[in-house]
Amino acid sequence: MNNKAITKRDEDFAKWYTDVVRAAHLCDYSSVKGCMVIEPNGYAIWEKMQSILDSKFKELGHVNVAMPVLIPENLLKKEGELVNGFAPEVAWVTMGGKKELEERLAFRPTSETLFCDYYKDHISSYRDLPKLYNQWCNVIRWEKETRPFLRSREFWWQEGHTIHSTKEEAEKETKQMMEVYKWFHHEILAIPSITGIKTEKEKFAGAEYTLTNEALMYNGVALQSGTSHYFGQKFSKAYDVKFLNKDNKLDYAYQTSWGTTTRMIGGLIMVHSDDFGLVLPPKIAPKQVVIIPIGDDNEVLDLANKYNEELNNNNITSYIDYSDKSPGFKFAEAEVNGIPLRIEIGSRDLKENKITFARRDTREKIVETTNIDIVSYVNNLLDNIQSSMYKKALERRDKLTFEAHNLKEMEDILNKQPGFIHAMWCGNEECEAKIKEIKGCKSRLIDDSLDSIDDKCVACGRDAKHHVIWGIQY
């Protein structure tokens, strides 16, 4: 049996995904084409993501700022690669009230230009550096095809922008922030991701190089889940961001940017959820435990209140479902909303000093006595759920990870079951384009720390230069 409001995942994955989003009240469509309404359940997950990441950023010395949402056209055009890279997705403001503007204003697709414009007036010496900035904001990108959380014309994210006096310091920052995204996915989201460098064709417009964090969804399609860009001095030269270095000479500063978005909510759904609705790892769940009293006698309510107070006092987010609904409806509602753990307290069970725990990840029910140490027991169970979800996702990813030694093998894999495909590459963009002809397969990342699986390019048969992981993407 599955939730009747949800299409079976293995029958129609795209419809299943949308059904879970709607059934769990994560977001809804709006009258603004391509834009979504993030509902309270979805925003609560985003707030939890923000809270954990923001704390990590600050631990590493970053501070939050806010830049304008509008960018003058002349400012956007100063860095040619950036404007060319984003040109198809930029939305423009041409009118202010009833008056036509003298210069178009772009809704920010990203904020490198604004930060550079700020830096050039606030940096004069190496003593002013580094500046480690981050902002939480929305951006506008005029996507042709949209899907809740995965691609929308307006989305929410964080974008870090840092500026340094040396190349070494900036590159260290670029790598460090990629490790933060990897940590967040593995330890908090229970999603086993892989990291590496993007090819020249796939890197961020204007970057010297881009590091990426890639996750594999249940259906074998890849999701880019955070990127970190090393700009070197490219933006500093374009925007004339200079400083007096320790040798008392003018030099251009070194910059980075890094970001991740609300698409991580989509990743959570597509990696962990099932035919009954949303499944959330305890560390990212806004509500970790729901207590459902069955019956309204004082003994049941007293124990429910006692447990709820003890759990919340020990940093476990718990609540009691007092709603005027049947127990079965409450169970189903907690399940579709992805609450990691359910505690059922009923009058009949209490006569035998018993209560029931229901795990959302496995849907297993466990009967225990009422004299357990509730805080210790629930903590251990939540830890077990978190690690079990990671292990299950890792097993699924490994099952959908393949090797290919030629284009025929790659095509056979993609026709049968998409996934991460390890294959060697010569470094030629023509070969990259040839591989893309197979169901839109793209390079996800280069990881030359991995052992070579062949000495020839998968596309042309010439000598290979790089170990690349390929896949179809959202």
pLDDT digits (tens, 9 = 90+) for 350-406: 999 999 999 999 999 999 999 999 999 999 999 999 999 999 999 999 999 999 999
Give the model confidence (pLDDT) of 366-377 as tens digits: 999 999 999 999
Per-residue model confidence (pLDDT) at position 1 = 55
Which SS3 state, helix, strand or coil, does residue 90 take?
Answer: coil
For residue 245, the Cα-to-chain-centroid distance in whole angstroms is 37
Q: Using alpha carbons only, what angle is made at residue 334 by residues 329 and 340, rounded to the nearest 5 degrees?
A: 150
Letter for the amino acid at 392?
Answer: K
Q: What's the rounded Cα separation, in Å, for the pair 203 and 173?
A: 17
Please name the residue ranges forming H helices in 240-360. 263-272, 298-313, 327-336, 347-351
Q: How confident is the model at residue 87 (pLDDT cuts 50, 70, 90)?
A: confident
pLDDT averaged over the chain? 96
State the pLDDT at residue 332.
97
On whether both 350 and 325 belong to a single domain, the answer is yes
What is each CA distance from 45 to 48, 91, 338, 421, in whole angstroms? Answer: 5, 28, 11, 31
Are residues 79 and 22 part of one domain? yes
Q: Quick check: is 390 in a domain?
A: no
The verdict on residue 332 lying in a domain is yes
CA distances from 427 to 271, 284, 430, 449 (A): 31, 39, 9, 16
- What average pLDDT score do residues 88-112 get? 95
- Do 239 and 266 lie in one domain? The reply is yes
Residue 31's contacts (CB-CB under 8 Å, 6 or more residues apart) are none
In a domain, residue 393? The reply is no
Instruction: Count up the domains in the chain and report the number.
Output: 3
CATH number reported for the structural domain that contains residue 349 in this entry:
3.40.50.800
Quick check: is 6 in a domain?
Answer: no
Q: What domain range is 128 assigned to?
A: 13-272
Clarify whether residues 407 and 448 are in a common domain: yes
Q: What are the residues facing 106 on neighbouring strands?
A: 71, 92
Are both 233 and 328 inside the same structural domain?
A: no
How far is 279 from 50, CA to CA, in rounded Å? 19
CA dist 45 and 436 (Å) reads: 34
42 and 171 co-located in one domain:
yes
Query: What mean pLDDT do residues 100-116 have?
Result: 95
Q: What is the DSSP string of 407-462?
A: HHHHHHHHHH---EEEEEE-S-HHHHHHHHTTTT-EEEEE-TTSPPS-SB-TTT-S
Cite the beta strand spans of 301-396 per DSSP E.
318-320, 341-346, 354-359, 365-369
Last residue within a domain, chosen from 272, 297, 331: 272
Domain end: 224, 245, 272, which one?
A: 272
Please state, as a whole number, how many other Cβ atoms lie within 10 Å of the Cβ of residue 437.
11
416 and 334 both lie in a single domain: no
pLDDT at 348: 93
Which among 334, 225, 339 is positioned nearest to 271, based on CA atoms? 225
Q: Tell whether 189 is covered by a domain.
A: yes
274-292 pLDDT tens trace: 999 999 999 999 999 999 9
**What CATH code is carried by the domain that includes residue 414?**
3.30.110.30
